[in-house]
Structure 1
Amino acid sequence: MGAERVRRWESGALAHAVSDPFGQGPLPWLRGSEQYFGDTGQVVPWYADEAMARGGSGRPRTADDVHHQIKGFVSPGAAEPGGAVDFHITVDPPQQFSVDVYRIGHYGGDGAAKITTSPRLSGIVQPPPLTADRTVSCHHWWLSWRLQIPSYWSVGAYVAVLTTLDGYRSHIPFTVRDDHPADLLLLLPDVTWQAYNLYPEDGRTGASLYHAWDGDGRLLGEAEAATTVSFDRPYAGAGLPLHVGHAYDFIRWAERYGYDLAYADARDLHAGRVDPARYRGLVFPGHDEYWSVPMRQAAERARDGGTSLVFLSANTLYWQIRLGPSPSGVPDRLLTCRKRRGPGRPALWRELDRAEQQLLGIQYAGRVPEPSPMVVRNADHWLWEATGAGEGDEIPGLVAGEADRYFPRTALPEHRRRILLAHSPYRDGEGVVRHQETSLYRAPSGALVFASGTFAWSPALDRPGHVDARVQRATANLLDRICKRD
C-alpha cells in the first residue's frame, strides 16, 4: 500500500466519530499550549492536529497502528490496591521507553494527576497480531512491565501514558477498584469500548464489531465486520477508547464536588464482582451499548433491591453479547455479538422480548446528525429545581450523537411514579423530525432510575466548550437525592 493510502490512518482516524461528536476529549496531562481550538471553537485532543502529531517544537508524536512506534494493552483491565496490572507493549524500532501513570479526577482543574513513573524499560518488537475470522488478538505478546498497585492508591480511572526515547506516545486505560462501600459506584463501559475498537487501524487487518478492511484498504461495514473481538490488544490510534471522554467528564465533575465514588468496569458487573447493596446508586456515565445477560441481571437486581441506577448517555443496553475466555483460558477476554448474522437468536435485546425500555424507562431511537436543543419538560419537578430552567426552555446542543425516547407500544418497568423531563425535536439523517426524551421513574423498591437519553449529558458536566450549569445542577439534584436515600 502506498504512503498516501495509509496516511489517513496514521493518527488513528475515528471511524465512528459521526455517532459521537465529543470523541475522546482533551487529554488533561497535556494542558495549555498542547491543546488547541478547532473550527467549532471548542477544545479538541492534541493528537488530532497533524502538525502537532508530527512533533513540531519538541512535542511528543502520536504512535499509530501502521508503524506501531509504541502500542500496548493491560491484563487485567481492573485490579485492586495490592494487586498487579500486566503491560504488554510493542516498540518499533526497539528502544527504551517509560510509563507515566495518571489518575483522572478534578485536581484543581487539571483533570488528572501523575501518580507514578516507571523506570526506563527496554522495548521490543512484539510478534504481529494474530487474526482468525477477523478476530485480532495479541494474547501472545510478552510481558513488558508489571505494575504492582500500592495499597495506598485511590480507586479510580487511570491512564498509562507510554513514551519512547525518541518521543512517540500512546495510552492505555485501566481501573483501580475495591469492594469497600460508597455512595455511588461508577461503572466504566469497557465492553462497549472494545466493541468499537478497530485496532489495528492500518487499512489491512484491524476489525471491530462495526468495521473491517478489504484487500484494497477500503473500510467495510457491519455486514463484514468481526463477530468476536479481543480485549488482548491495544486500542486503535492514540490508544484511548473512542467514547472514553464521557466517563472522564463525569469523573472530573463528580470528584470536584466531593461525591463518594467507587469504581468498577462493566466486566466486573458481568463477573459478579459488584455487590449493589454496598452502594446507593450505580452510575453508567457513558456510551454503554453492549450488555451480557449477567450484566442486565445484576442491574435489575440492584434496582429491585433499592439501589438507584443513573444512565447518563443514550443507546444503552442495545445489543446482547457474550464474554468468553482467551485462548489461554483467561476469563472474559473475548467479546462476541453476532448481531443479525449467522445461526442462533437475534442479538437486539428488544427483539429478544427484553426491550431496554423495561429497565431504562426509554430506549434508543436513532442518531442525531447535528446537535439540537434539549427542550425542558415538567420544569416544576425536583430534578430541575434551582437550575433556572423553565417549561419549554431550550438547552442548546444537549441532544447530540444519539438519542433515546419513550416507545408507547413497549412495556414499561414496574414503577411507583414515572415522569419525562425533556421532549426535544430533532431531525434524523433523512430530515424527518424525531423526538428525544429524558426519563425518571421510581421502582417499587424505592430506587430511582434516570436515563438522560442523549450523548451530550456527561460532556455538559465538565467538557471544555460544552459545560452547562443547568445540567450540572440537575445532575447534582439527582445524585444528592440518591445519596440521601430521599
Structure 2
Amino acid sequence: MGALRALAAGVLVLALASGCHDASNSANKTAGDGSSTSAPPGGTASRPGDDAWRIPDRLVARPNELAGYADHVSVRSGEPFRLFVTSPEHAFTVRAFRIGWYGGAGAKLIWTSPEIPGPTQPQPILTKDRMVTAINWSPTTTVQTRDWPAGSYLLLLRASNGKETYVPIVIRSGSARGAVLIVSGVNTDQAYNGWGGYDLYVGAHKHSHDQRSLMVTFDRPYGYNPARGVLHDNLPLVQLAERSGVPLAYATSVDLQADPGLLNGARAIVFGGHDEYWSLPMRQAVTRARDAGTNLAFLGANSIYRRIRYAADPHGPNRIIVDYKDAGLDPIHNAPDTTVNWRQNPYPNPENSLVGMLYECHPAKGAFTVRDPNFFLFAGTGAKAGSAYPGLVGNEADRAYPIAGTPADLQVVAHSPTTCDKRHTFSDATYYTAKSGAGVFATGTIEWVRALQGPDPEYGVGPASVAFAQKVTLNLFTALAAGPMGRTHPAIGNLAAVHDLATTATGTGGPIGQSPGPSSD
C-alpha cells in the first residue's frame, strides 16, 4: 500500500476504532504566548477539514518534476518564510494545510497562493564534506503567515501538469506554558533525506557508508516520497493529540536549541516515532524541563542515539546538521559535542538517563506484550498480563538494562519477545518518575506512532493493535496535561525482576563507552 493511501485509510480507522476515547466535542486549544491561544475558535476536533491534502500515488512528483524547500523549519504565526522551488512546468500553486483531527479529515486548508511562475533552478552544490545543498537557488516566493494557528503544516505544491509534492513546516508556539508540546523531529527527517544522492548514511554509490555525507542541510528539498518523517512518524500523533482535546503547543528539534525558554512551564514534551539525532543543547534543555516537573513521552525508539551539532549558512543559524559519526574525522574530536553516538567516547552519555532505556536493534519485529496490566496508561484497553498486540514492535526497538544511568525506579510495563536480524531479544516499554514529580513514558518501538493511523498489513498491525495503541496514547495525553504524572502515578520499579543482563551484547546499538565503528542503523 502506498504511504499516502495508507494515511488516508488510517484517518478513517481512527474515527471508527471502538477502543478510543471520543473527544470530538472537546475544544482543543493550542498554546501561544502566555495564556493566549492560537488555535481556531472552538478547537480543531469537530471543525470541518479538507481531504485535498492527500496526494494520490499517481500524482506524487519525482524530484526532477517538482521540488522545493523553505528557509525555516519553523516560524511564529505572522512571520514570513521564503520558498525555493524548481520545476520544468510554467507555473505552480501552494496550499497550506494544517494537520489536525478536523472531524476525521486529518487536515484543514489554511491558505492558497495565486499561480506562481515555475522557475528551473541551477544544479545543487556538493561540498567537500559531501553535503548536497541548494543554497544557490533563488527564492521563488515569500509566504506570509498572518493568523495561521500554531501547528504542524504541509505545504502542498502543485505544478501545472498536476504533479504534487510537500514541503513541511511548523508554525511554532510562542510558549508551551500549561500545554503539551509536540516536537517535530526534523533532524532525523533530514538525516535520512537522500535528495541529491547523499544523506548521513550513504553517498552516490548506494550502500557505501564511507561516502556518506558528513553534514546535511535543511536548504534542499526532500527526496522522492517527500515529508516521509512527517507522514509516518509525526502526522498520526498530531491528529490523535488534537482529537484528545488537551492544550497543545508545537515546535521542532531545532527550536529546543534555538529557544530553550519555550519549554518553561510546559506540562509535557512529546517526541514522535523516530527522533534519533540530538544536539547537546537540545538534551540539556529537555533534561532541565524534566527536572522542573515537565513530563516526557518518547513514542518511538532509537531516540537520542546520534549526537550532532548545528552550523549556520547564509539562510541563518542551525541550518546545517553536522554528524561525522567518528571522533577521528570530527575536527572537534574530544569534546562533549563531538559527533559520535551518545553512548560512545569521548564523553559517553547514553540515552537511558533520559529515555529510561537504550536503543536495542534494527530490524526488529514482534508483538507488543503487556507485563503490567495495572499500569495506569493501559486502563480501558482490556489488556491482561501477557496480552500481545501483533506488529506494534518494529522496525527499531529499545530495551531496558540495569546499568549506570538507568533510573532506579524504572518500571517495565511491556516486555516483548522480539526478533532482530535473526537474533532473539526483547523490546520494552518503560515508565519512571523524576525527583521533580515528572513522569517519563517510552514505548520502545518506532511502529507505535505509525500504528495510530490504522492497520498496516506490511507489519502485521491489525485492528486490535491499532485500538490498543490509540487508547493508550489518548490516556497518555490526558495524563500528561494534568501535570507531573509521578505525583499521582509514581513508578513502581521492577527492572531487577525482569532483567539480569548487564551488557548490551544482544543489540546492534553498540556497547557503552567505546570508540565508534561503522554503523548504518
TM-score by length of 2: 0.77
2:213 aligned partner, one-letter code: A
Which residue in the other structure is 1:120 paired with? 115
Alpha-carbon RMSD across the aligned residues, in angstroms, is: 2.4
Which residue in the other structure is 2:442 paired with? 451
Distance in 2 of aligned mates of 1:79 and 1:387: 38
Matched, 1:252 2:239: yes
Which residue in the other structure is 2:419 paired with? 427
Q: Is the 8 A contact 1:194 1:241 kept in 2?
A: no
Aligned residue for 1:331, secondary structure, equals strand
Q: Is the 8 A contact 2:55 2:164 kept in 1?
A: no
Which residue in the other structure is 1:478 paired with? 476
Change beyond 3 A, Cα 1:163–1:297: same
Counterpart among 390, 394, 404 of residue 400 in structure 1: 394
1:350 aligned partner, one-letter code: R
Change beyond 3 A, Cα 1:463–1:259: farther
1:147 aligned partner, one-letter code: V
Counterpart among 158, 167, 176 of residue 163 in structure 1: 158
Matched, 1:348 2:341: yes
Which residue in the other structure is 1:463 paired with? 454
Which residue in the other structure is 1:18 paired with? none
- The more displaced of 300-309 and 474-483 is 474-483
Matched, 1:239 2:233: no
Which residue in the other structure is 2:69 paired with? 73
Shift of 1:80: 1.0
Which residue in the other structure is 1:56 paired with? none
Change beyond 3 A, Cα 1:267–1:209: same
Shift of 1:118: 0.3
Shift of 1:183: 2.0
Distance in 1 of aligned mates of 2:279 and 2:62: 31
Counterpart among 157, 172, 177 of residue 177 in structure 1: 172
Shift of 1:246: 1.7
Change beyond 3 A, Cα 1:274–1:188: farther
Shift of 1:445: 0.4
Counterpart among 214, 228, 242 of residue 215 in structure 2: 228
Matched, 1:108 2:103: yes
Aligned residue for 2:440, secondary structure, equals strand
Unaligned runs of 5+ in 1: 1-20, 33-44, 54-60, 201-205
Q: Is the 8 A contact 1:73 1:233 kept in 2?
A: yes
Shift of 1:23: 6.2
After superposition, the C-alpha distances for 1:381-429 in whole angstroms (9 at most, x for unaligned) are 212222100001101111111000012234213x5x4310111111121
After superposition, the C-alpha distances for 1:160-199 in whole angstroms (9 at most, x for unaligned) are 1111111121110001112243420000000111011000
Distance in 2 of aligned mates of 1:319 and 1:472: 29
Shift of 1:87: 0.5
1:477 aligned partner, one-letter code: N
Matched, 1:296 2:283: yes
Counterpart among 179, 195, 219 of residue 199 in structure 1: 195
Distance in 2 of aligned mates of 1:329 and 1:142: 12
Counterpart among 322, 345, 368 of residue 374 in structure 1: 368
After superposition, the C-alpha distances for 1:218-251 in whole angstroms (9 at most, x for unaligned) are x133222001011100000142134642210111
Q: Is the 8 A contact 1:75 1:232 kept in 2?
A: yes
Task: Give the number of aligned pairs.
Answer: 426
Aligned residue for 1:478, secondary structure, equals helix
Aligned residue for 2:149, secondary structure, equals coil
Aligned residue for 2:383, secondary structure, equals coil
Which residue in the other structure is 2:32 paired with? none
Q: Is the 8 A contact 1:104 1:156 kept in 2?
A: yes
Change beyond 3 A, Cα 1:27–1:392: closer
After superposition, the C-alpha distances for 1:14-57 in whole angstroms (9 at most, x for unaligned) are xxxxxxx996774559999xxxxxxxxxxxx9879xxx53xxxx
Which residue in the other structure is 1:5 paired with? none
Counterpart among 286, 291, 295 of residue 308 in structure 1: 295
Percent identical among aligned pairs is 32
Q: Is the 8 A contact 2:244 2:478 kept in 1?
A: no
1:437 aligned partner, one-letter code: D
Change beyond 3 A, Cα 1:273–1:150: farther
Unaligned runs of 5+ in 2: 13-52, 489-521
Which residue in the other structure is 1:12 paired with? none
1:367 aligned partner, one-letter code: H
Distance in 2 of aligned mates of 1:31 and 1:242: 17
Matched, 1:186 2:175: no
Distance in 2 of aligned mates of 1:99 and 1:308: 37
Shift of 1:470: 2.0
Q: Is the 8 A contact 1:22 1:459 kept in 2?
A: no
TM-score by length of 1: 0.83
Which residue in the other structure is 1:336 paired with? 322
Q: Is the 8 A contact 2:9 2:453 kept in 1?
A: no
Distance in 2 of aligned mates of 1:189 and 1:264: 9
Distance in 1 of aligned mates of 2:236 and 2:10: 16
Counterpart among 114, 120, 129 of residue 124 in structure 2: 129
Distance in 2 of aligned mates of 1:238 and 1:329: 25
Which residue in the other structure is 1:147 paired with? 143
Distance in 2 of aligned mates of 1:27 and 1:86: 28
2:189 aligned partner, one-letter code: W
Aligned residue for 1:332, secondary structure, equals strand
